[in-house]
Structure 1
Amino acid sequence: MKKALICGVSGQDGAYLAKLLLNEGYSVCGTSRDAQMSSFQNLVRLGIRDQVKLESAALTDFRSVLQVLKKNQPDEVYNLAGQSSVGLSFEQPVETLESISIGTLNLLEAIRFTGEPIKFYNAGSSECFGDIGTEAADETTPFRPRSPYAVAKSAAFWQVANYREAYGLFACSGILFNHESPLRPQRFVTQKIVAAVSRIAQGSQEKLYLGNVDIKRDWGWAPEYVEAMYKILQQEEPDDYVIATGESYTLEEFVVAAFDSVGLDWQDYVITDRSLFRPTDLAISRGNPAKAKEKLGWQAQYKMPDIVRMMVQAKQDSAQ
């Protein structure tokens, strides 16, 4: 039985990945900063809380990382941990850099230290590309990060590439574009929109306050994106891949689709709030997943309109 270690198992991607790996016959261990105190609500929602072994590990502490590796002896390590909000990274730049960049470095160094043939997956981010105009970003597009989060993810990406080239580690990064699901935390704008639409549909008189609705994003479905993570580590050679749908929509189009799904006109409820604009934000974000399709046989089946419909439906089902 193969063994996988998922760092950041309590998050959206960690929970879906744990479910996928269990279905593939893996023994799964997940880490959290404090496994005793964490609720692991996403694992509970997916009905797999009792099937995942849980360990406490602080990725910013090398000794802690080494201990968890030696204790569990995984075949594959998935690094999905670290501060995950672009907006919050402007308020907590040091914590963001440490949790993402130092955490990734400690995992790579601990794997090298053990000398075991562990395959390593790192959660990269489309935010690393910055503003690329109307072009779709692929694996050769230069990084021009525009947030503390993107700077941290860029550093982690190059650490992975360096350990792969310098030490021969089977270390890969998936450069994932935005991906959503009902497990998205409330602080993400997509979940904020879906939650508000559901409450308004049930009679709430509230207004929905949003920042810049002209931004364009390439939105995918999280359960599909974790399949790509898994496929990346099943390849003969380690490499990096852009994971995206290849289609971009404005945030306004996302809002329209959400209100349309419950038969309401978005313009009656949405108010633009300048205080919600970020210091620097990407105007357009779109990925070119051609390499993933060719090498991994992976292609996104769901696009933004499907994703909005599924998220609103899930929110309404959970409210009943």
Structure 2
Amino acid sequence: MKDTKKIALVTGIFGQDGSYMAEYLLGLGYEVHGISREKHQGKLAESIESLTTIHYGDIKDQMFVDRVLEQTVFDEIYNFAAISDLGTANKNPEETKKINHDAVGFIFNKAIEVNPKVRLFQASSSQMFDTSVSPQNEDTQFVPRNVYAETKIDAHNDFVVGLRKRGVFVCSGFLFNHESPRREDRFVTGKIAKTMTKIKLGLIDTPLELGNMDMERDWGFAGDFVRAAHLMLQAKEPKDYVVATGKLHTVREFVEEGARCLGLNISWKSEGIDEYGVDDSGKVIVKVNKDFYAPKETFKMVGDISKIKQDLGWEPSVSFESLVSMMIKNNLEELSVEN
């Protein structure tokens, strides 16, 4: 009897999204392959490596990409590899274009050459949308605000819209902010969770420094978002979807919820660039750093998920409070072991 197990390729497999995607697919019985530029250390990477086939190489190298896609006929490909940090993208526009745009073309074009019936998922971004409209949905026009958004828009137009016109099953997920215990501390949510945990454990004696506490984001759980990506590729026809929670929370709320999880109580003093928070003893544990501060945005980036909810039955399962809690708990476990 023919083996009907599906075979999927996940790019950026050791990243936050890629690792959750790999685990989800493995749980569904898929044979999973991944692409990574370099070998990663740690229990998570070791676990994924032991359960999947990893192809080490650079997706900017078309010959490498061709070799990977010629070796195995993939049923589904999930492209999460990208330069997503806005600071890094703005400092390295050419590199960002090569990874966020050119490499997508290498992967998708070769994939359909090998298997015309392959199903393709592109991780697009809420950063692509016009911010004068809120909430944003699938029909919101694209207005790039940075290099990252520009490359994502170009990749969507060239390799999602373009290939779909040729009959290829390819979908974009317009992913709003999504976090998890795997979020690195170069991102604000990861920084908050890790620094506050260090303060609670007495590992540091300096306060958490942030920008504008009133900044709002639509934060969801990465594990929910990869479930949405999978659902898109199981549909009868390829469509693009906004993936979000539809709810906004401020940086201040994230800090407060993290503090609550750690048994800390924060009282806020002053406002704007002079704002800071103290614990019950009066110790400053969080403050605004003027170097990180930006005026509050006049727009609201919040996703309208009515289409994906209606078409695919998807909706987020993890609340904002639960998301913050799992990030704090993970840091407590890791930092307690390390120290």
TM range (shorter): over 0.9
Counterpart for residue 169 of structure 1: 168
Q: 1:61 to 1:277 in 2, by over 3 A?
A: farther
Amino acid of the structure 2 residue aligned with 1:39: Q
Give the aligned partner of residue 78 of structure 1: 78
1:189–1:157 CA distance, 2 compared to 1 (3 A)? same
**Which protein shows a greater Rg?**
2
| 2:8 maps to which of 4, 28, 35 | 4
Residue in structure 1 matched with residue 27 of structure 2 by the alignment? 23
Alpha-carbon displacement from aligned partner over 1:208-236 (angstroms, at most 9, x marks no partner): 11122222110001111111111110011
Go from structure 1 to structure 2 and tell me whether the alpha carbon gap of 1:281 and 1:118 turns closer, same or farther (over 3 Å shift).
farther
Is the CA contact 1:173–1:241 (under 8 Å) kept in the aligned structure 2? yes
SS state at 1:212 partner: coil
Tell whether the 8 Å contact from 1:131 to 1:285 is kept in structure 2 after alignment: yes
Rate the CA distance shift 1:238–1:210 in 2: closer, same or farther, 3 A. Answer: same
CA distance in 1, matches of 2:32, 2:14: 13
Matches of 2:30 and 2:157 in 1, distance apart?
A: 29
Structure 2 length-normalised TM = 0.87
Q: Deviations over 1:81-119 (max 9, x none)?
A: 021212221222221122101111212221233353111
Whether the 8 Å CA contact 1:10–1:41 is kept in 2: the answer is no
Taking the aligned partners of 2:231 and 2:313, their CA distance within structure 1 comes to: 9
- The 1:111/1:280 distance shift into structure 2, 3 A limit, reads farther
CA contact (8 A) 1:161 1:171 kept: yes
Out of 244-253 and 206-215, give the one that drifted further. 206-215
Structure 1 letter corresponding to 2:54:
L
In structure 2, give the amino acid aligned to 1:152. Answer: T
Q: Aligned partners of 2:292, 2:298: CA distance in 1, in Å?
A: 14
Report what 1:149 is aligned to.
148
Alpha-carbon deviation of 1:265?
3.5
Query: Following the alignment from structure 2 to structure 1, what is the Cα–Cα distance between the partners of residues 44 and 162?
Result: 32
CA distance in 1, matches of 2:156, 2:19: 22
1:42 & 1:128 partners in 2: Cα distance? 31
Q: Which range moves more in the overlay, 165-174 or 7-16?
A: 165-174
Moved over 6 A (4+): 278-282
> 2: distance between equivalents of 1:278 and 1:234?
42
How do residues 31-180 of structure 1 correspond to structure 2 at under 5 angstroms? 31-34=35-38, 37-39=39-41, 42-44=44-46, 47-132=47-132, 135-180=134-179
CA distance in 2, matches of 1:2, 1:289: 28
- 1 CA distance for matches of 2:245 and 2:171? 20
- CA distance in 2 between counterparts of 1:149 and 1:114 reads 29
Q: Which moved further from structure 2: 204-213 or 18-27? A: 204-213
Which residue number in structure 1 is paired with residue 303 of structure 2? 287
Equivalent AA in structure 1 for residue 93 of structure 2: P
* TM-score (norm: length of structure 1): 0.92
Give the Cα separation in 2 of the matches to 1:280 and 1:32: 37
Amino acid at match of 1:98: K
Q: How far apart are the structure 2 equivalents of 1:28 and 1:115?
A: 17
Deviations 1:243-290 (Å, cap 9, x if unpaired)? Answer: 111101111111111112222234122221222247997852100111
Identity of matched residues, %: 34
- Distance in 2 between residues matched to 1:119 and 1:64, nearest whole Å: 21
Q: Secondary structure at the match of 2:35?
A: strand
CA-CA distance at 1:49 after TM superposition: 2.8
CA contact (8 A) 1:243 1:292 kept: yes
Give the length in aligned residue pairs: 315
Root-mean-square deviation (Å): 2.0
The separation in 1 between residues aligned to 2:127 and 2:288, in whole angstroms, is 23
Name 1:195's counterpart in structure 2: 194
Matched position secondary structure for 2:234: coil
Work out the CA distance in 1 between the residues paired with 2:332 and 2:9. Answer: 33
Q: Using the alignment, how far apart are the partners of 1:62 and 1:280 within structure 2?
A: 42
SS class of match (1:285): coil
Structure 2 residue aligned with 1:220: 220
